[in-house]
Structure 1
C-alpha cells in the first residue's frame, strides 16, 4: 500500500478542516433558530397562558423578567464565545527576522480582549516550539488540527461555536452552558405546570403549533447541557482543562477552588460576580501564569521599577 505524500496529507487535512468548519456554521445556525424558537414559545405560549389563567400583571412581569434575563445571559455569552479569540500564539508572537526558529517579537497586548494588561518580559528560551505553526509554544498551549493553530490554554475545539475554547473565551463558554441550563430548567418548570394543571385546559387553544415541538426539546436541552455544564464546572474548580484532565496534568492546579476559578473568571469573590456578564481582565495573559491578580500587579510594578532604574543608570 502506497503511503500518502506530504502534499496529499496537507490536502486531506485542509478538506477535513473546511468540512468541520462548514458543519460548525450549520450548528451555529441551528442553535440560533432553536434559541429564537424557545424565546418565542416562552413569550407567546407560556407567558400568554399564565396571564390568561392568573390575570396578575405583576406576577407575569416578574416571571417574564426572570426568563428574559436568562435569555440575555445565554445570547451574551454565546456571542462572546463566537467573536472572542480563544488566544492564539500567532496573535502574540511574530518573527523578528527570516530565521525559522526565532527570535520572535512577543506582544501579548494584541491577544487581550481586555487590553488593560501590560506586556510582560519573557524568556523565550524556556518555551517549547511548534513545528506546525513555526512559533513558540507556551505552557498549557496545544495545536488544534482543525483550526491549524496553537491555542493558549486550549480546552477543546467546539463545533457549536466554530472555534476552539481556550484561555480568552473559556469563561464565556462555561457561562453559556450554565445559563442555558438554568434557563431551560426555569422554562421547563413553568411548562410542566402548564401541561399538568387543569387550570390551563380551556386556554390551550391559544398555544402555537410549535409548542408541542419546543416543549420536549427544551427538556432535552436541560438534561444534556446540565450534565455538560456540570462537567465543565468540575474541571474549572479543579483548575484543569479537558486536555489536562485526560493527560493527568495537575501542574497548574491551585490549593483553593476560588483561585482556580479566578484563573478563568478574573478577580471574583462570589458566585454573583462569577455568573454575571463580564469582560473583566484575567490574572494571566495565557503565556505567563500567576496565582492572583495581586501577584500579577506586583510583578508588573517590579518590572517597571527595573526599567526606570536602567533608564536612570
Structure 2
C-alpha cells in the first residue's frame, strides 16, 4: 500500500475534457472483455463484438430493443440536460473504478493518509480459490449499462492514468486531487500484482450477472388510472400517457422535438402543475397526486440518464 502512496505524490494539474453528443443520437462504446466473440442484437440487427475488443454504436433518440443470450428488453435513448458518457457491458463483466491520489510534495503524511482512507472500500476477492474481503481504493461495477451519472471516472478503459498532473498553484501551496481510472478486470489484476498481490497468486473478483429481466433501473412506471377519482386529472393523465406512447414511435429529431414537453424540464413542470386540476374539494383523498407520483419520481431520477429502460 505504501508504495503507491509515495509513487503518487506529484505536482498536479487538471485538464478537463468534454464529449460532443449529436443533437439526435447518442454514441456508446460496447465492450467485450471476454475471450469469446459475442453477439448483441439491436433492433433485430446482429452486432458482433470480437473477443477482447470494443465497437462504437450510434443510437438514434427513441425506442430500441436490445437482446443478448436469448433475453431482451426495450430502452428509450433520450436527450439529457448535461452531457455524459458510458459503456455498454452485455456480458456484465467486472469493471474496476480505482481511485488515485495526486498531491504536491509538501502534502503531509497525515493529510495524505486521511484522503487515502476515504477511498477504501471492502471488496470481495477470490485468492487461490478462497473468497476473502480486503480493503482497496476501488469500486467494482458490472452493470449492463455503466453510466458516469452513477459511476464517476476521469480516465476510461483505454486511457492511461498519467504519472503526474499539473495545476496553477501559488508558491508553496499544498494541493491534492483524486482521480478515478476505469479498468477491465484482467487489466486491473495486472495492476494489482505490481503493488498489492504476489505474482503467483490466482486472483479474481466474484461476478454474478443479472438476468436482463432483473435489470430495473429507470423503468417507466405503470400508473394506476383507475384509482383516480378526479375525472379532470384522470383525463389529463390518460392524454399524457397517450402522448408518451406516441413519443416511443418516434426517432431522431422527431423524438427530440417532442421529448422536452413530456420528459424534459417543461414536461416535469407541466405534470406537477396539473395537480391544480384536482384540488382538495374535488379530490379529498388526493388520488391524482398519488397516481402521478411514480411518473414524477421516474422523470426526476432519469433526467440525466440517456438509456431509460421501458417495461
* TM-score bucket (shorter structure): under 0.3
- Structure number with the higher helix fraction is 1
Higher relative contact order by CA 8 Å / sep ≥ 6: 1 or 2?
A: 2
TM-score (norm 1): 0.21
Which of the pair is proportionally richer in strand? 2
TM-score where L is the length of structure 2:
0.21
